Structure 1
Amino acid sequence: MRKVIFYILISWWLVACNSSVISPEMVDECPPIYPDYVGVTIPATIAPMNFSCLDGEYERVDVTVTGGKSGEVHVNDKIVLFPQDEWQSLLKENQGDSLMFTVCIKKEGKWKQYRPFPMYVSSYPIDYGVVYRKIAPGFEVYSKMGIYERDLSTFEERPLLENTMVPGMCLNCHAFNKTNPDHMSIHIRGQHGATLMQIEGECELLDTKADSILSACVYPYWHPSGKYIAYSVNNTRQSFHAVKDERVEVLDLASDVVVYHPETHELLLSPLLQKKEVFETFPVFSSDGRKLYFCSAEAKPIPEAYKEIRYNLCSIDFNPEHGTFGDRVDTLIHAAAMKKSISFPRPSYDGKYIMYTLSDYGNFSIWHKEADLWLLNLQDGTKRPIEEVNSEDTESFHNWSSNSRWFVFSSRRGDGLYTRLYLACIDEDGRVSKPFLLPQENPWEYYDRSIYSYNVPEFTNMPVELERRKVERGIVSDKRIQVKVRQ
């Protein structure tokens, strides 16, 4: 028996010696890791920032993470997977400080130790989760897609709705009120089309198509009071480019902006937002609810002049007490004069900024390689590209956290094909941190194998409550509440 125990101990010792870092070669450069997490700023509740090493074939990787205040986590394995509990404790202990990562890689029996790199743990909290649509490639018919919720503190992802529930269903345009899922809108296209609206647990399926508007309501944005929700109505077409670097174009042949009042099931219209000679789209309310921002372009013939359609950022006053609009439209940014076009304006909830996407033309920038994120300062009117997060590929849809200290955005920077989600921090003075890719348990394997694009990310401050089977029955029943236009 003693001999058995002796041999077991010897075996453990040999394995330990084989995996221990012994006399490493010092390399004066950061380790080649995926994702690039070197120097990023993270919230103190984020899931473990696991990464993969891209140093070719290797036998083992050793990572020590040391807290600037206290604590340490050590991993020695083939892949870098930090234990959830130890990781969360380390972040909590070092909130407002930093972590230092020391990475060693063993190749051909020899260790190399790379230059340590920092990761900063922000004092700003982040919301519970992110809701997004994941969609597989497909243009002619609706491919596999769904609306999913991700807990940002773990790797847990759960479906809210998937188009496999009802054949031919397309899911898009989900929105919450200032990250609160108690006010939710989701648009459903297909044979059983509807707008799903849930307010404080009460769920309705709406028919938002009326005789005096162009289409059903899309591109939603809630009024901060929760009493209204703005939509655009669009006559949209899809076309395909014949040139190598341009794939798909989504065009509006016509578009207007409306506001819906859930309490009365009425659409509120303004003649200033219903002009045939103007395309209006992507409406959003200001943080105080007294302005409605939107994108506006001079209508031009399609498809002949589609590259000449450029959207400006405009606003109109809104009176939430009476549900009425102002008597003039103001232009905040005349992008067309710069031969540029604005899409996806998103005001920060603290009233300081509007983040928007700037591209060369059109309003559907998700396939525009030149599309970048910009920031308008509402206090002094200055605007700037967010160079800290922009890349050489597409930056597109984006949203703010409830405290306006974090934002999430979609980018094609990884491979030029699929949109992935990135998060970044912005402090009170407008300084923006280096963005980081949404963490996954095994990131290289996950993203390399995934055929899904992420889009329309929305923060949520608590889990979404949605009765999937009840919604499914409602969708296939074709029972809808018909909205009406306020006269």
Structure 2
Amino acid sequence: MIKYLLFCWYVILFLSCCEEERPGYATGELIFPDYRNVTIPVDIAPLSFYVNLPEMNENVQVSLSTRTYKLNRQGKEIRFSSLEWRELVTSDSVINVYIQKKIDHLWNCVDSFKIYISSDPIDPYLSYRLIEPGYEVWGNMGIYQRCLANYEEGAIFENSRVKEICVNCHTTNQGNPEEYIFHQRPKPAGTILVKDGVVSKLNTDYSEKIKTLVYPSWHSSGKYIAFSVNKTVQAVHSQHRNRIEVMDLHSDIVILDVQKNILLTSSLLSSADAYETFPCFSSDGKKLYFCSAPAISLPDSFNYVRYHLCSLDVDLEKGTLGSKIDTVIRVDTLNASISFPKISPSGRFMLYTRHAYGNFSIWHRDADLCMFDLHNRREVDTSILNSEETESYHSWSSEGHWIVFSSRRMTGLFTCLYLAHIDSSGHAGKPFLLPQKRSDSYFFQYKSYNVPEFMKGPVRTSEKDLEAVMER
């Protein structure tokens, strides 16, 4: 049924996407995607966009100029070659954009804006999952990688190679494409580990309570990975602004010694009186951050579950975990809940998702990105990053000047990826949609982007090698 509905949606979009009629979300601004006054890295693919004017193509022109270089385009679909785009973005730190239309044989400026070029480096690749936005079942899905300097996308692994499996929760060790993990579900279930050129499948059946591992975080040494262990259920709302609820009936955190395949545990991370989830190691590996909520009756009290941001000191080389939990952000006075904590490479900023309740913010329309300055113990304004729809999963670039996050702001249903610049004080720039070769590419994108992560290079492990291990 879900494939049929998605096919119908695809056909409707196709029939409606002619030059004079585009989807409503693409006509709310003068240009789509909205690249006005954004900050971009030098090494980004050309920003193709469409000008939403009723005039015919021959009566619209766009110019982009710096102090030493200029490009002119006739028409409403604006695209650039890699060579001319490279010359433009390397010629100055500011691009001036002018949009004009012809009235009575004279060119009149309709709008002008700037595009700012940052010299701060960005990692060259992204990885993400593409999946249909369903609730109960899935069809074709995969984990993919995208080169940010152009539009090239390739599969790391597609589930069509192993029948009826789900691949999820992929993450690299600090952006290293040669060290990464992902899970496969349901059977033959397991966690796939790629490290030092070797592909292996971890036996995660550690005990009666710990059968599978879920949300991961690599330790900076690469020797340990923290995981949550969750018993998750979901329910569909009949009348609610959020479509579904996903909740944990219980959840704990464990730390895996990758070399020995043994778990480090602590009663502070597996209390029967609390739900612990979303582990996140500090940049220096000396703290483990996580989210924790007091255990209450579920599912009847689902909208009263609120997660604090906590931390625990760790010394994993000695195999010791701290004896006291520090509550970094208490949510009692915020009337909110925290999920997906991600710390900047500098160790100063904690980017997280805030929403009214619960921990699975992906389907919560009120979910926003927030940032906490761990050095000065204060919130940083991130309002520029957020919209009226869901902002959820996010990650930092390895140098800490860029973030990527998923958002449903375009349609309210499908998640797309946005990038934003973060300066040394934590101030965020206006986010911009991941560039595609054509401005209408997203009109025909019927899968959601999920779990975006920066990578320092491409994954080179073959799908065949992954498949051989996954079928064991």
Question: TM-score, normalised to structure 2's length?
Answer: 0.91
Q: Which residue of 2 aligns with 1:64?
A: 63
For residues 360-375 of structure 1, the aligned pairs below 5 Å read 360-375=356-371
Q: 5+ residue gaps in structure 2?
A: 1-27
Tell me by how many angstroms 1:368 deviates.
1.0
- Cα contact 1:312–1:341 (8 A) shared by 2: yes
For residues 303-382 of structure 1, the aligned pairs below 5 Å read 303-382=299-378
Q: For 1:338, what is the secondary structure of its paired residue?
A: coil
Tell me by how many angstroms 1:78 deviates.
5.0
Rounded to whole Å, the distance in 2 between the matches of 1:276 and 1:108 is 75
Q: Which residue of 2 aligns with 1:10?
A: none
- Cα contact 1:408–1:421 (8 A) shared by 2: yes
**Which one is further off, 293-302 or 319-328?**
319-328
Q: Which residue of 2 aligns with 1:483?
A: none
Rounded to whole Å, the distance in 1 between the matches of 2:51 and 2:142 is 31
Q: 1:471 aligns with which of 466, 469, 472?
A: 466
Q: 2:254 aligns with which of 255, 258, 270?
A: 258
Rounded to whole Å, the distance in 2 between the matches of 1:58 and 1:107 is 12
Q: Which residue of 1 aligns with 2:449?
A: 454
Q: For 1:203, what is the secondary structure of its paired residue?
A: strand
For residues 169-208 of structure 1, the aligned pairs below 5 Å read 169-208=165-204
- Cα contact 1:57–1:107 (8 A) shared by 2: no
Q: 1:426 aligns with which of 401, 422, 425?
A: 422
Rounded to whole Å, the distance in 2 between the matches of 1:201 and 1:423 is 30
- Cα contact 1:215–1:235 (8 A) shared by 2: no
Q: For 1:447, what is the secondary structure of its paired residue?
A: helix
Rounded to whole Å, the distance in 1 between the matches of 2:189 and 2:332 is 35
Asked which structure has the greater CA Rg, the reply is 1
Q: Which residue of 2 aligns with 1:44?
A: 42
Amino acid at match of 2:159: N
Tell me by how many angstroms 1:300 deviates.
1.1
Q: For 2:178, what is the secondary structure of its paired residue?
A: strand
Tell me by how many angstroms 1:385 deviates.
4.5
Tell me by how many angstroms 1:107 deviates.
8.7
- Cα contact 2:199–2:465 (8 A) shared by 1: no
For residues 277-296 of structure 1, the aligned pairs below 5 Å read 277-296=273-292
Q: For 1:210, what is the secondary structure of its paired residue?
A: coil
Q: 1:302 aligns with which of 298, 320, 324?
A: 298
Tell me by how many angstroms 1:459 deviates.
0.2
Q: Which residue of 2 aligns with 1:248?
A: 244
Residue 239 in 1 paired to residue 235 in 2? yes
Rounded to whole Å, the distance in 2 between the matches of 1:316 and 1:155 is 41
**Which one is further off, 98-107 or 155-164?**
98-107
Rounded to whole Å, the distance in 2 between the matches of 1:399 and 1:108 is 50
Q: 1:103 aligns with which of 93, 99, 105?
A: 99
- Cα contact 1:311–1:336 (8 A) shared by 2: no
Q: Which residue of 2 aligns with 1:24?
A: none
Tell me by how many angstroms 1:353 deviates.
0.6
Cα distance 1:226–1:113, how it changes in 2: closer, same or farther (>3 A)? same
Q: 2:83 aligns with which of 79, 82, 85?
A: 85
Tell me by how many angstroms 1:244 deviates.
4.6
- Cα contact 1:239–1:249 (8 A) shared by 2: yes
Cα distance 1:408–1:308, how it changes in 2: closer, same or farther (>3 A)? same
Q: 2:162 aligns with which of 156, 161, 166?
A: 166
Q: 5+ residue gaps in structure 1?
A: 1-29, 479-487
Q: Which residue of 2 aligns with 1:33?
A: 31
Rounded to whole Å, the distance in 2 between the matches of 1:425 and 1:169 is 36
Q: Which residue of 2 aligns with 1:9?
A: none
Q: Which residue of 2 aligns with 1:116?
A: 112
Rounded to whole Å, the distance in 1 between the matches of 2:245 and 2:29 is 39
Question: TM-score, normalised to structure 1's length?
Answer: 0.88
Rounded to whole Å, the distance in 2 between the matches of 1:235 and 1:292 is 21
Cα distance 1:78–1:425, how it changes in 2: closer, same or farther (>3 A)? closer
Q: Which residue of 2 aligns with 1:484?
A: none
Q: Which runs of 4+ in 1 moved over 6 A?
A: 107-110
Tell me by how many angstroms 1:415 deviates.
1.4
Rounded to whole Å, the distance in 2 between the matches of 1:235 and 1:108 is 67
Rounded to whole Å, the distance in 1 between the matches of 2:300 and 2:333 is 20
Rounded to whole Å, the distance in 1 between the matches of 2:61 and 2:161 is 45
**Alignment length (residue pairs):** 444
- Cα contact 1:137–1:143 (8 A) shared by 2: no
Q: Which residue of 1 aligns with 2:13?
A: none
- Cα contact 2:130–2:447 (8 A) shared by 1: yes
Q: For 2:199, what is the secondary structure of its paired residue?
A: strand
Q: 1:153 aligns with which of 149, 155, 162?
A: 149
CA deviations on 1:249-275 (whole Å, 9 max, x unpaired) are 111011000111111111111111111
Cα distance 1:240–1:314, how it changes in 2: closer, same or farther (>3 A)? same
- Cα contact 2:57–2:74 (8 A) shared by 1: no
**Which one is further off, 262-271 or 107-116?**
107-116
Rounded to whole Å, the distance in 2 between the matches of 1:157 and 1:108 is 45
- Cα contact 1:169–1:191 (8 A) shared by 2: yes
- Cα contact 1:214–1:255 (8 A) shared by 2: no
- Cα contact 1:58–1:108 (8 A) shared by 2: no
